[in-house]
Structure 1
Amino acid sequence: MIVSITRLHLRGIRTLPTFAWMTVRSHFQIRKTKGLEHVSYRKEGMLTYWTMSIWHSPEDMKAFRNHGAHLRAMKHSRQLADELQYIQFSTTSKTLSWDECKEKLHQKYRANELVTEKNGL
């Protein structure tokens, strides 16, 4: 199974209505998509949002990601958010804890920051 974790921080409160509308539309799409094992959402404060989805295969995940309401939302995400982070990894579990998923995402971006610092960028 494939796990996809995303973290999005909105640019400001004025982007919240558009983000909420796109989220609702994407939620209806994901519930109809073949191969979804589990989906969960989290909110941190007023402007930070997390998603976790677990898929039977990479193809199932890509079928959702690259079509419909979610694809339209991704095209607008840079206008709505000032931070976008994601990670995908394989698992044998059908459910994961949010703490574990958040830590995996944070580890990825901390490692990228260290490489950037080391290279003087």
Structure 2
Amino acid sequence: MIISLGKFELEKTSKLFRFLRMSKRIEEQAKASKGVLDVKLSGGSIKKFYVITVWEDIDSMKQFAHSGAHMEAIKQAKELSSQIKLLYYEGTLVPEFNEVKKILESDENVRTY
């Protein structure tokens, strides 16, 4: 299975409600997507948010990522966020959110925007 981890840090708290609305649409899209096994969201603070998605295969994940509400969010990401960290990998053990924070700070394959 494919495990995808993300951290989104808002540029300003004034963008929180816009971000939350967008996140809800993306969550709904993910949960309805072919190949999704799990979707988890967590707030680290008022400006930091984490996501874990688990997929049957890479093709399902990529189809989701490049369509619908998620694709729209990609276009607006730089405007909302001061930092975005992303990592996906093949695995069998889904980390807990406290582990996700450590992984996104230390794994050499993390992409930072």
Residue number in structure 1 paired with 2:38: 38
**Unpaired segments of 5 or more residues in structure 2?**
none
1:22 aligned onto 2:22? yes
Deviation track 1:69-96 (CA, whole Å, cap 9, x = no partner) reads: 0110111010000011011111023x43
Task: Indicate the percent of aligned positions where both proteins have the same amino acid.
Answer: 24
1:1-121 correspondence runs (5 A): 1-93=1-93, 95-108=94-107
**Unpaired segments of 5 or more residues in structure 1?**
113-121
Q: Name the amino acid aligned to 2:47.
A: L
Aligned residues: CA RMSD:
1.7
Q: Deviation of residue 98 (structure 1)?
A: 2.0
Give the distance between the partners of 1:102 and 1:13, measured in 2 at CA: 20
TM, length-normalised to structure 1: 0.84
Which 4+ runs in 1 deviate beyond 6 A?
Answer: none
Give the distance between the partners of 1:30 and 1:12, measured in 2 at CA: 26
Residue number in structure 2 paired with 1:117: none
Q: Which has the higher helix share?
A: 1
User: Would you say the 8 A contact 2:42–2:51 is kept in 1?
Assistant: yes
Task: Give 3-state SS (helix, strand or coil) of 2:61's partner.
Answer: helix
Q: Name the amino acid aligned to 1:97.
A: E
TM, length-normalised to structure 2: 0.89
Deviation track 1:9-53 (CA, whole Å, cap 9, x = no partner) reads: 001111112111111111111111011111111111110000000
User: Would you say the 8 A contact 2:27–2:39 is kept in 1?
Assistant: no
Give the distance between the partners of 1:44 and 1:33, measured in 2 at CA: 26
Give the distance between the partners of 1:13 and 1:63, measured in 2 at CA: 31
Count of aligned pairs between the two proteins: 110
